[in-house]
Chain A
Amino acid sequence: MTETQEAVPMEGIRRAPTAPAVVVHELRKEFRRRDRKQKRRLGKPKRMRVALDGVTFTIERGETVAILGQNGSGKSTLVRLLSTLLLPDGGSAEIFGHDVVSEHRAVRRLVNRVSVEASFFKKMSAAENLSYAARYYGMTSRETRDRIPAILTRVGFPKDRSDESMENLSRGMQQKVALARALLTSPVVLLLDEPTTGLDPRSKLEVQDFIREVRAQHDATILLCTHDLNEAESLADRIGILDRGELLVLEPADELKRRYGATTLEEAFFAATGRTFEDEAAEDENDEEREVFA
């Protein structure tokens, strides 16, 4: 076990030794939204949109799984359900044997997350943001005094900028601090929701390298949601395709390509979803609400 993991206050939270890291069974989530096309009237008509439709999969400890899907396919909903930020409408999800609804406190100790938006108090510095966030996980100032500079150095964050406001940092820098924040609490399950979207190519490679490093050196299980096919192929042991809330397939990249008779992951993706890239683009335009829901 690494130094980072030893310092985690995990007492009282047990990982069942034989339990897989993540077990998702028939998970379902729908959102009700006011129908803008209907005239306003009493009773406000609502439209149901299914964000996740009976999703089932398992991730073993130490495994990296990538979930591919277009905007609004349900990737973020899945991550938010596993992060205990949403309540499912059906099915179940467990993290190391702990149910995300009834044992959410235990799950929160085991999970952390990096999302597409770095999400920090922008006037505060990187060190300040990491410091208060660590307290929420029971880490004292004595514990974080050395760990915060060390972890910032590890993600390649310049030491002389750790007291600078987050608003003055580039997107790439902010995303590195987001990775540092997630790793500071030594999660055993790391949920990455499009962590490299919007980054310049160099920052993107740096973040991907860091994910590889985390994977190689830590006993962490990673769920990576992305729409970057190359990123998924290079980082994940298995790749799933989530389309309109349904998990169509989840298997290693080579098997996935073989299954659809494709030479590239891109071809396999479009064969699996049954739509061309042009269809996807057209649907994106006509389906702006899906993004809001899922």
Chain B
Amino acid sequence: MRAMTLALRHELIGLGGVVERNVYLTRRYIWWDVAFFLWTVANTLTIVFIAEGIEATGGSIDVDRTTTQLLIGAVVWAYLGIIFEFITETVAWERWEGTIEYTFMAPLSRAMHLGGSGVFAVLYGLVRAILLFVVVALFFGLSMPDANFFAALVILLIASVSFFGIGMMTAVLPLISPEKGAQLGFIAQGMLLVVSGVYYPVSVLPGWMEWLSKISPATYALRGIRDSILNGAGLSWDNVWPLIVIGVVSIPLGLWVFSRGEIHAKKHGKLKRSG
């Protein structure tokens, strides 16, 4: 029992080490982060202006509502991008810096290693997403008197577990393909958002894509967050249970996929700095 407690303690300290490392890196690359944030704001503005554009070209829509809908889509896209980027970079960045061998030979379980990246990604992503939402909402002077921000935040946190599980599966790509793995991760991220109704209802998708939207956690996250912010709805079980199920399946599956990738990399000598 004592040995188990001690082992768990070591694992949690290790997880803290991954978070600590990412805090150091964020601090050291802070201007890089500021630049990316400004880029994300500009990118979001170009999307959110579409609502005003439709009205200006004669369309009849509720501009504030459509603007908020688009803003939620852009913020969730940005948030998901951060989660995927951090988890995928767990391997890619370490390979680039040359620390990959030291990390993979450390006595830290892969669950805690990846978990540390996930915890930091969620914390960092939340700060960025909230800032992005506030900045763009203020820019457009959006009024959201009925919004239930707490429920929206809880939905995003529950969805993060599933995002993390799927992120682990894409994190394996740079491990087995050092040159193209990270790019393949971006494709997976893009596919996930295309089928999840990021800027449109999933009902406009072709039948097979609409079916895929049912197994994407982003579908339920977007639906729940929109419902909470636009209609002031609380946590809806219809959105929560699919997220829990996808999370329960995707985390162990993600770990399994990553462990298979690690075995492949160790067999073929790909677990090294230069690839």
> CB < 8 Å: which of B6, B104, B105, B273 contacts A12?
B6
B141 interfacial by beta-carbon distance below 8 Å:
no
B130 interfacial by beta-carbon distance below 8 Å:
no
Interface centre among B13, B109, B269, B271 (most CB of A within 10 A): B269
Report the bound CA distance from A131 to B101 in whole Å: 17
> CB < 8 Å: which of B97, B104, B106, B263 contacts A121?
B97
Residues of A within 8 A of B231 (CB): none
Report the bound CA distance from A288 to B89 in whole Å: 30
Report the bound CA distance from A109 to B105 in whole Å: 9
A86 interfacial by beta-carbon distance below 8 Å:
yes
CB within 8 Å of B: which A111-130 residues: 111-113, 115, 117, 119-124, 128
Residues of A within 8 A of B269 (CB): 31, 77, 80, 86, 293
Given known contacts A117-B273, A119-B102, A165-B28, is B267 in contact with A133 (CB within 8 Å)? no
B81 interfacial by beta-carbon distance below 8 Å:
no
Given known contacts A87-B267, A105-B107, is B17 in contact with A136 (CB within 8 Å)? yes
> CB < 8 Å: which of B17, B99, B104 contacts A85?
B104
Check B18–A132 contact: CB distance below 8 A: yes
Closest chain B residue to A138, Cβ basis: B10
Residues of A within 8 A of B24 (CB): 121, 124, 128, 132
B214 interfacial by beta-carbon distance below 8 Å:
no
Closest chain A residue to B94, Cβ basis: A121
Question: Nearest-CB distance from A155 to chain B (Å)?
Answer: 17
Residues of A within 8 A of B268 (CB): 31-32
Count of B interface residues, CB-CB < 8 Å: 36
Closest chain B residue to A12, Cβ basis: B3
Check B107–A121 contact: CB distance below 8 A: no
Check A136–B98 contact: CB distance below 8 A: no
Check B3–A123 contact: CB distance below 8 A: no
B146 interfacial by beta-carbon distance below 8 Å:
no
Given known contacts A115-B101, A119-B273, A123-B28, is B6 in contact with A136 (CB within 8 Å)? no
Check B6–A86 contact: CB distance below 8 A: no
Check A11–B6 contact: CB distance below 8 A: yes
Closest chain A residue to B104, Cβ basis: A85
Residues of A within 8 A of B107 (CB): 105, 108-109, 136-138
CB within 8 Å of A: which B17-56 residues: 17-18, 20-21, 24-25, 28-29
> CB < 8 Å: which of A117, A131, A165 contacts B20?
A131
B103 interfacial by beta-carbon distance below 8 Å:
yes
A83 interfacial by beta-carbon distance below 8 Å:
yes
Interface centre among A11, A108, A119 (most CB of B within 10 A): A119
> A10-54 toward B: CB 8 Å interface, digit per residue (1/0)?
011000000000000000000110000000000000000000000
Question: Nearest-CB distance from B260 to chain A (Å)?
Answer: 13
Check A123–B29 contact: CB distance below 8 A: yes
A140 interfacial by beta-carbon distance below 8 Å:
yes
A84 interfacial by beta-carbon distance below 8 Å:
yes
A259 interfacial by beta-carbon distance below 8 Å:
no
Report the bound CA distance from A215 to B260 in whole Å: 38
CB within 8 Å of A: which B255-272 residues: 263, 266-269, 271-272
B14 interfacial by beta-carbon distance below 8 Å:
yes
Check A121–B267 contact: CB distance below 8 A: no
CB within 8 Å of B: which A241-274 residues: none
Check B105–A85 contact: CB distance below 8 A: yes
Check B106–A119 contact: CB distance below 8 A: no
Question: Nearest-CB distance from A258 to chain B (Å)?
Answer: 37
Check B6–A133 contact: CB distance below 8 A: no
B16 interfacial by beta-carbon distance below 8 Å:
yes
A223 interfacial by beta-carbon distance below 8 Å:
no
Check B21–A132 contact: CB distance below 8 A: yes
Check A138–B9 contact: CB distance below 8 A: yes
Closest chain B residue to A9, Cβ basis: B10
A229 interfacial by beta-carbon distance below 8 Å:
no
Residues of B within 8 A of A119 (CB): 97-99, 101-102, 273
Check B18–A138 contact: CB distance below 8 A: no
Report the bound CA distance from A78 to B106 in whole Å: 18
Q: Could you list 15 further interchain pairs (A-B, Cβ under 8 angstroms) beyond the known A9-B6, A86-B266, A136-B107? A: A9-B10, A31-B268, A80-B101, A108-B107, A113-B101, A115-B101, A117-B98, A119-B98, A119-B273, A120-B99, A121-B97, A131-B20, A136-B14, A136-B106, A138-B14
Q: Which residues of A contact B (CB under 8 A)?
A: 9, 11-12, 31-32, 77, 80, 83-87, 105, 108-109, 111-113, 115, 117, 119-124, 128, 131-140, 165, 181, 293
12 of the cross-chain contacts (CB-CB < 8 Å) are A12-B7, A80-B101, A85-B266, A105-B107, A119-B101, A121-B99, A123-B25, A124-B25, A135-B20, A137-B106, A139-B13, A293-B269
